[in-house]
């Protein structure tokens, strides 16, 4: 019963390096999301995909790009990592755009940018 | 703009104590309200929700009532257990597929 799977779980980057966080869900959900979690700031939405083939910016999209590869997969890319992007990243999914509030989260990916 | 304000943590209680975590929100209209819980090393999971004024959400002994007049959704539990130690997030459904989260309240329960 996998749910939402994120990889990698931990990553250390140097400033300027690039990387992609991968996310896959096996619940046949239409909508997927990327959040970042920072101490004292809760969760902030980076990007979301309401349905396959669409993506939209959230609160804090600068420095990130996303790809909704298919219905199952939604990746987050950092083209040129900065120390301000040190955070824990969560992927989530929901059945559809008019969500009832139940987001299903992955276990998180802890990223450190030196 | 839309926002959620939660009481700051950490909150430390003894087992079997009564718990209240305060939450107020600023939003347009009357959105659905939620409490999510994050156990150590895990992602968030939905704990309970309420979709309209005066609704009471409940789950695992936790309760929260949607108070339209005070724009609040306080989380309560009558007798906490060590296994309730976690971070709790108040949230509401905003427009355009967004759920707005509070900053989280860390709860620690002493045996």
Other CB atoms within 10 Å distance of the CB of residue A51: 14
Residues shown for chain B = 111
> Rounded to a whole number, what is the distance in Å from the CA of B45 to chain A's nearest CA?
7
Q: Ramachandran region of residue A30, left (φ > 0), alpha (ψ -120 to 50) or beta? A: alpha
Tell me which long-range contacts A59-65 makes (C-beta under 8 A, separation of at least 24): A59/B98, A60/A36, A64/A34
pLDDT per residue rounded down to tens, chain A (114 residues): 679 999 999 999 999 999 999 999 999 999 999 999 998 778 899 999 988 989 999 989 999 999 998 999 999 999 999 999 999 999 999 887 655 668 899 999 999 999
pLDDT per residue rounded down to tens, chain B (111 residues): 888 999 888 999 999 999 999 999 998 888 889 999 999 888 899 999 998 899 999 999 999 999 999 999 999 999 999 999 999 999 988 766 678 889 999 999 999
Chain B contact present for A101, CB below 8 A: yes
Chain A contact present for B101, CB below 8 A: yes
Name which of A99, A46, A34, A45 is nearest B46 in CA terms.
A99
Chain A residue with the nearest C-alpha to that of B39? A107
Chain A contact present for B27, CB below 8 A: no
Chain B positions in Cβ-Cβ contact with residue A30 (cut-off 8 Å): none
Given an 8 Å threshold on Cβ–Cβ distance, is B97 in contact with A99?
yes
Chain B positions in Cβ-Cβ contact with residue A58 (cut-off 8 Å): 98
């Amino acid at each position: 019963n996998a749910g939402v799977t994120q990889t990698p779980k931990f990553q250390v980057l140097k400033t300027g390096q690039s990387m992609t966080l991968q996310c896959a869900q096996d619940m046949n959900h239409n909508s997927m999301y990327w959040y970042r979690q920072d101490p004292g700031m809760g969760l902030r939405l980076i990007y979301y995909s309401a349905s396959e083939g669409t993506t939209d910016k959230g609160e804090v999209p600068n420095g990130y790009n996303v790809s909704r590869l298919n219905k199952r997969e939604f990746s987050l890319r950092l083209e040129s990592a900065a120390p301000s992007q040190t955070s824990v990243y969560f992927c989530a999914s929901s059945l559809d755009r008019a969500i009832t509030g139940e987001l299903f989260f992955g276990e998180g990916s802890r990223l450190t940018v030196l | 703009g839309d926002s959620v304000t939660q009481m700051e943590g950490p909150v430390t209680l003894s087992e079997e104590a009564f718990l209240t975590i305060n939450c107020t929100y600023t939003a347009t209209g009357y959105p659905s309200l939620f409490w999510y819980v994050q156990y150590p090393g895990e992602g968030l999971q939905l704990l309970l929700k309420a979709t309209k004024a005066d609704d009471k959400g409940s789950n695992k002994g936790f309760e929260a009532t949607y108070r339209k007049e005070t724009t609040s959704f306080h989380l309560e539990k009558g007798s906490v257990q060590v296994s309730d130690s976690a971070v709790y997030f108040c949230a509401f459904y905003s427009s355009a597929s967004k759920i707005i989260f509070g900053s989280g309240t860390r709860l620690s329960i002493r045996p």
